[in-house]
Every structure is written in structure tokens, then in C-alpha cells.
Structure 1
Amino acid sequence: MKKIIIIGCPGSGKSTFSRALHQITGLPLYHLDMLNWKTDRTTVEKSVFHEKLRQTMLKDEWIIEGNYGSTIERRLQVCDTVFFLDYPVDTCLKGIEERKGKKRSDLPWIETSDNTDKEFENFIKNYHTESRPDVIQLLNKYSHKQVHIFSNREQGDKYLDQLSKNNQSKKEDI
């Protein structure tokens, strides 16, 4: 694993999973939200975002976390490993609630209850019917990649625990 993408519905825990994977592997971590958003909650120009993403993908190793549906296929073309956090809507909505008020490395502001966006909430509620089919179609198209699909947090946590144990064993063997 040298070039990894982590995708899934907002609130699924992509950022948390990616930080844990970064800690285990030591691969550089890039959050698409940090490439796209400014601290004042406005976005950079699309051309700027796409150039930042292009520059990131030119690197030898990376973990890129985030959806940005219009760029998933570009990332699939160059990655070697995909993690799709395919969690239930309720899990994702709960994830959004749990992160409110917390400083995060993947977003340049702190989310609060008073800035919850109804459009964003509806996107999450409709993810499985509107966005997920396109993701599944792309994952099928790029099935020659190493694709991991987790349907709940326990599966993702179990994978990370096992990967951590395997890495520890390799270090001890040296």
C-alpha cells in the first residue's frame, strides 16, 4: 500500500480511519476538505483545488481522504488501495453529531449545531440511493485495485488492529 484513497458517506469516519491508517503506515495524509475549504467557510477556485489534488497525486506515497465525487475516478486510476466505509445512514448521521464542537485536522473550522446545513444532512440521508451506486460502479470498474469495503465501524477497527499487529511483528523480526 503506497497510494490509498478513503471514501464513504460524510460522517462515516473517513478522517478518523485515515488518521489511524496514517499512524500505522507512516504514509503522508491529505484531507480533500483541507485542499478545498478556506477557514472562512468558502472554497478555493475549482482550478486551484484540482491543481492541489493533481500535485498531491504526483507524490510517490499518500493517503487521500474524502469523497468529492467528481474526482473519485481520477484518484482510482492512480491509487493501489481503496477503503470504502459503506456504513448505514444512522451511523453517519451520528458521526456528524459526535464531531460537532471538536477541533479536527481535516477541516479548517469547528462544526457546531448552529451551523448544521440541511442540504448537507439531506445529502447524507440520500447518499445510499444517490451517490453510493456511482461509487459501487466505479469500484467494480477498478476491481483490480485492492478494495476493502467495510459495512460497519467494527470491521474497519478490526482491519486497523490487525494491520497494526502485522506491522509490529515485522518491526520485531528486524
Structure 2
Amino acid sequence: MKKIAVFGKPGSGKSTLSKALALATGIQLHQLDSIVYKKNGELVDRSSFDEAHERILSSGNWIVDGFGPINSFHQRLEAADTLVYVDLPYITSYWFVTKRLLKGLFVKPEGWPEGSSVLKGTFESYKVLRLCPKFWNDDFTARLEAMSDKKSLYIVKSVSELNNFVYLNVK
């Protein structure tokens, strides 16, 4: 585990898992939302994102949490030696997004850029979750599994697996 891509639906626990991985491995964590968005919540220009993303991927080790633009996502899948797909049930993701909203009224959510609107982000997460079955589906999983001969692939399917991932998989 030197180059780790952590991805999945909104509200699936990616940021919490990524932070725990970073603490356990000492590998620097890069949360995509902090690269994709400015501090005021606006998108950065694409060339700035691409430069930052390329700098991360060309470094010796990294953990990247998130999705970002589709072509950068595919670049990360190729560059990573470890893929962690957090694929919790949709009802769990909806609950986690709602819980993040409630908690976010008092504390900035894990992995969110400073100054981002929790309310706006929550509604965006709900919108994305509604569209997720078109992307996060059996075909996507099959494509990941086809990559697993060259990489370590972990598909996290339950909250229990999520909570125990670092303990069970980081030596």
C-alpha cells in the first residue's frame, strides 16, 4: 500500500476511512474536495486541478479520497497500487449524508473545504446519490475486479467492514 485510491458514493465514509488509513500508514492524505473547490466553495479552474492532481499522482506515495472529474478518477485507478471501493447500501449512504448534515451544523464535515455550505453540499450529495446507480453498478465492479490482477482491490460492503478496515488490512 503506497498509492491508495479511496472512492465510492457520497456519504459512504470515505473521508473517515482515508483519515484512519493515513494515520495508520503515515502516507499523506489528499482529499479531492480540497483540491476541486476553493475555500469559498467555488470550483477551482480545471488546469489548476489537473496540475495539483498530477503532482499528487507522480509522488512516491499517496492516499486520495474522492472522485473528482471522471478522467482524473480513471488516472487514479491506473496509478494506484491499492483500490478501496466503499460500496455501502444506498440507505446507509443516505443516512450518513443526513447525519453529516446534522453534525455539520456544529462542526465542519470531515474532508470538506473550509467555507463550503453544508446545506448546499448535502443537497448535492442527495442529487448525486440518486444518479449513482448509473455509475456505481455491477459493470463498474466487474471493471475493478479485472484490474485486481495488477493491484490490491478491497470492496467494503458494510459499516462493520468499514470500521474494521484499517485494523484488518494495514500491517
TM-score by length of 1: 0.84
Shift of 1:53: 0.3
Contact 1:73 1:138 in 2 (8 A): no
Q: What residue number does 2:31 align with?
A: 31
1:107 lines up with 2:112 in the alignment: yes
- 2:44 is paired with a residue whose SS is coil
Structure 1's 117 and 97: CA in aligned 2 closer, same or farther, altered over 3 A? closer
Structure 1 residues without counterparts, runs of 5 or longer: 167-174
Contact 1:8 1:67 in 2 (8 A): yes
List aligned pairs for 1:1-174, cutoff 5 A.
1-68=1-68, 69-100=70-101, 101=104, 102-108=107-113, 109=115, 111-113=117-119, 115=120, 118-127=123-132, 129-133=133-137, 135-144=140-149, 145-163=151-169, 166=171
What is the CA distance between 1:63 and its match in structure 2?
Answer: 0.4
For the pair shown, the structure with the greater C-alpha radius of gyration is 1
Report the 3-state secondary structure (helix = DSSP H, G, I; strand = E; otherwise coil) of the residue aligned with 2:155: strand
Structure 1 outlier segments of 4+, above 6 Å: none
How many aligned positions are there?
163
Contact 1:37 1:44 in 2 (8 A): yes
In 2: Cα distance, 1:156 partner to 1:21 partner: 11
Percent sequence identity over aligned pairs? 28
| Contact in 2 for aligned 1:104/1:110 (Cα 8 Å) | no
